[in-house]
Structures are given as C-alpha cells and as structure tokens.
Amino acid sequence: MALYIRVRGPNGVEQGTVEDGRIVLGDGTRITPLELDSMQLPEPYELLTPLAAPEIWCAGVTYERSRDARVEESAVKDVYTMVYDAPRPELFMKDAAMRRTVAPGRPIGIRADSAWNVPEPEIGVVLGTNGRIAGYTIGNDVSSRDIEGANPLYLPQAKIYAGACSFGPAVFVPEHPELDFHLTLRVTDEWGRILFEGESSTSTMRRSYTELVEWLLIDNPVPPGSVLLTGTGLVPPDDFTLLPGHFVEIQVPQIGTLVNPVVRASELIQKEPD
Ligand code: DO4
Ligand code: MG
C-alpha cells in the first residue's frame, strides 16, 4: 500500500509519498508534517488536493441513512426510495477543472440562499485508465439540504457552487481494490467545541465501488484522474447546519484526516479579470 500527496513548495507543485511519518518528494526532499493525520505542513510548503482531478462526480443515496434523510427532507419522497432500490445509481457531476473544489485546510463554502447546509463525508474513488480504480481518497460533498429538499430538480444548485467540494489529504493505493473504510465526522465551532460527531462504514453501502464506476463510464468519457465520491452514510440530525466559523474533520484511518474551515461561499469567488 502507498499514500500519495501533492504540495506546492519552492520548486512549484510536486508529488510526494508518505513514508514513516514524513513526506518524501521526487528529488528526495523530506518534509516532517506539523500534524501527520491532516498533513499540516511547515512553511513554505502548502498541501494541495492529492491530484488535480479533471472532473469530480458523485453517487447519491447509496446508503440507507442517506435514503431515509432524503425521504424525510424532501417534498418529493418516492424518487429516493426508487433510486436506492433501482439497478441504475444516482450519479451527478460535482465539479470540473477544480473550479469549486478546495484543498485540505482551505475553506469550504455555504450558500447565501440556503439555511440548511451539511458536510457529506464520502469515500472518493480515483479513476485510473480504462475504468480501473487507481486509489481512494476522502471527499466532502458539501450540500444544501433545504434547496435539494424543496425539489429534486434543484439538485445541481444544492450541490455545485464555490467551495462545495474538498478531497484529500492523500490518495491511498491499497494492495486489493475493494475494501471497507470507516469514516468519522466531527464538526467543531471556532472555540473547538464539538457540535456533531458521528461515524459510518462503507460496509453498509448498497453498491460496490466497481459497480458505481461501471455505471459512470457507460458512454461517458470521464478522464483518468477524475474522482467519484461514492455517497454519504453519515447525515447529522435535522437541527444541525454548518455555519461560517465551523471546522469539518473527516477521518479515515488508512487515508488521514480531511480538515476544512467553513466560510460563506461568496468569500471564495474571485472577480474575473475584465
Ligand atoms: O439526491 C441526493 C444526493 C445524495 C447524496 O449526495 C448522497 O447520498 O451522498
Ligand atoms: Mg453526497
């Protein structure tokens, strides 16, 4: 097994591996992280997403917990039970060219027109060539539950906006591609108080990673290096919402901890040059 990361340092953007608690770059440089699990790096290094994914896709309603949460929140309930039971999964594009995706440690966003926002901790499958699974990462499919709940046709607005996605800190390449992961989610406020803590396991996922990848690639030329987030099995209670100032931590023992602070999405939008 191996863990791959990507950093920006004095020589530009470089890939590295994690070995014995240190990051080893291509030229042999070794970096000791300030915090190994989240791969917090000393200056002048900055941790990036472990790869620049050309596309990020998501599967939805792949766990009973997610199906039940959608049925509860939605004005249109049947679609979620139907898709949970159907052979064809729900698949949607989350981002392209990393325009709305942020690195570990960087802020994720919540929409101004939503009052109910949640993190969605998910295992991300990294696509290799010809549909092969190249590795796994941790993803956060940040979502607006009230927009999605008002009407399933609003799904793209609930899912796609500035800072609505993060993944990392590493890509884990195991010896055997189909395996289970245990995910722990913790949300804290700016004073470090725990607002929500929960856990889930991919062993309860209704579909296999391979099945999701196969459906995604039917007549759909998704480029290698793209990431497919495989759905959430962890939904905070209905009275929980993310707010600016919160911190989201998603931990998976084999991969590390994906940490992101929360800000208003509008703060992440840079003005385009005229
Ligand atoms: O249709 C809702 C999307 C659900 C989702 O993103 C998930 O289950 O992770
Ligand atoms: Mg999701």
Residues 10-39 have pLDDT tens digits of 999 999 999 999 999 999 999 999 999 999
Residues of the chain with pLDDT > 70, as a percent, come to: 100
| pLDDT at residue 107 greater than cutoff 90 | yes
Instruction: Note residues around ion ligand 2 (Cβ under 5 angstroms).
Output: 120, 141, 232
State if residue 155 touches ligand 1 by the CB under 6 angstroms criterion: yes
Question: Best of 66, 74, 78 to mutate for ligand 1, by most ligand atoms within 8 A of CB?
Answer: 66
Q: Would you state the pLDDT for residue 260? A: 98
Ligand 1 centroid to Cα of residue 146, in Å, is 13
The answer for residues whose C-beta is within 8 angstroms of residue 269's C-beta and 6 or more apart is: 162
Question: Confidence band (pLDDT; 50, 70, 90) for 137?
Answer: very high
Specify which residues 270 forms β-bridges with. none
Q: Would you state the pLDDT for residue 48? A: 98
Ligand 2 centroid to Cα of residue 118, in Å, is 10
Tokens 């591609």 belong to: 177
pLDDT tens string 40-96: 999 999 999 999 999 999 999 999 999 999 999 998 889 999 999 999 999 999 999
| pLDDT at residue 177 greater than cutoff 80 | no
State if residue 61 touches ligand 1 by the CB under 6 angstroms criterion: yes
Quote the pTM value: 0.97
- Distance, CA of 57 to CA of 51 (rounded, Å): 15
Q: Would you state the pLDDT for residue 83? A: 97
Residues of the chain with pLDDT > 90, as a percent, come to: 95
Q: Could you tell me if 55 and 125 are in contact, meaning their C-beta atoms sit under 8 angstroms apart?
A: no
Ligand 2 centroid to Cα of residue 141, in Å, is 5
Q: How many CA atoms lie within 13 A of 140 on its CB side?
A: 40
Which residue has the least CA distance to atom 6 on ligand 1? 60
Which residue has the least CA distance to atom 5 on ligand 1? 60
The amino acid sitting at 230 is T
Ligand 1 closest atom vs CA 143: 6
Question: Confidence band (pLDDT; 50, 70, 90) for 1?
Answer: confident
Average pLDDT of the segment spanning 83-110? 98
Q: Would you state the pLDDT for residue 157? A: 98
Collapsed DSSP state (helix, strand, coil) of residue 152: helix
